[in-house]
Amino acid sequence: MDNLDIQLYHYKDKLKEDVGVETKHLGSICTTIYDELRQLSIEKLLEIEIASPVSLKLRVEELTAFNMMMDRVNSQLNKYPEIIRSQVIVQNYIAFVYLKDNCFGVTKKVMPTGTLTRRICKFLLDNPVRAFRNAIAHGNWQYANDFSGIKYYAHKGETKPNFEPQEMSEFTVGNSELGFWQALSRATAYTIYSHIIETKK
């Protein structure tokens, strides 16, 4: 988990201010998640596993393949702007749609109150991340005019799918903020799934 801890430490200020992570955990987010999962019973871990109709091994493979794709295309971003657009779509789908219910929803349910894991899952399930996820899933988003972030459209408060689009409010998430949400989502899911897979060996 060391590499993931290092990656997330880059966002230490956001973790502390937005998520409410205690200072003592800022340099060991994924290690702490892993340790907290070790305290769960086999039955609780099984709840997380069976929430996904896709095997967790395949989900980890998908996350790994995504990271490999990111490494490959990052060297071509300046040369091929169209790759950036494709990358943004894939990043947001993986981080916010692919992982939401099958990972964060059930993990939040089984983790004890007061744990770092539960706190992070709650952050990834609540607004504004929740509203952004819904906008991505339903195609209600566009780039900011200067490409400094993404504009998205969502209903304030509870989601009401029968509302007409003009009744939605416009929000904007900057690239830095979005990068934090994405990194936290992927690292958390990878840690959760990896622990369950290793426990079964």
Is residue 186 in a domain? yes
Degrees (nearest 5) of the Cα angle 36, 39, 43? 120
Nearest to 97 by CA among 15, 40, 182: 182
Q: Return the number of other C-beta atoms located less than 10 Å from residue 112's C-beta.
A: 11
Q: What secondary structure does DSSP assign to 129-185, as a single string?
A: HHHHHHHHHTT-EEE-TTSSEEEEEE-SSS--TTS-GGGSEEEEEEHHHHHHHHHHH
Domain presence at residue 118: yes
Q: What's the total number of domains in the chain?
A: 1
Domain with 28 in it: 2-126+179-199
Answer whether residue 101 is part of any domain.
yes
Q: Which residues pair with 153 in a beta bridge?
A: 170
pLDDT at 163: 47
Half-sphere exposure of 66 (CA within 13 A, CB side): 22
What is the C-alpha separation between 41 and 28, in angstroms, rounded? Answer: 23
CA distance 91 to 179: 9
DSSP-assigned beta bridge partners for residue 149: 174
Average pLDDT per block of 10 residues along the chain, 201 residues long: 91 97 96 97 95 92 84 66 81 91 93 97 96 95 93 74 66 95 95 92 70
Contact 123, 29 (CB under 8 A): no
Residue 183 within a domain: yes
Sheet of strand 169-174, all strands in order from the earlier edge strand to the far edge = 141-143, 149-154, 169-174
Q: Is the residue at 13 inside a domain?
A: yes
Q: What is the pLDDT of residue 76?
A: 62
pLDDT of amino acid 64? 87
CA 96 – CA 130 distance, rounded (Å):
8
Q: How many angstroms separate the CA atoms of 165 and 172, rounded?
A: 16
Q: Is the CB of residue 19 less than 8 Å from the CB of residue 117?
A: no
Residue 149 domain-assigned? no
Residue 171 in domain: no
Q: Check if the beta carbon of residue 174 is closer than 8 Å to that of residue 143.
A: no
Residue in the block written with tokens 């950036």: 84
> Residue 139 domain-assigned?
no
Q: How far apart are CA 197 and CA 201, in angstroms?
A: 7
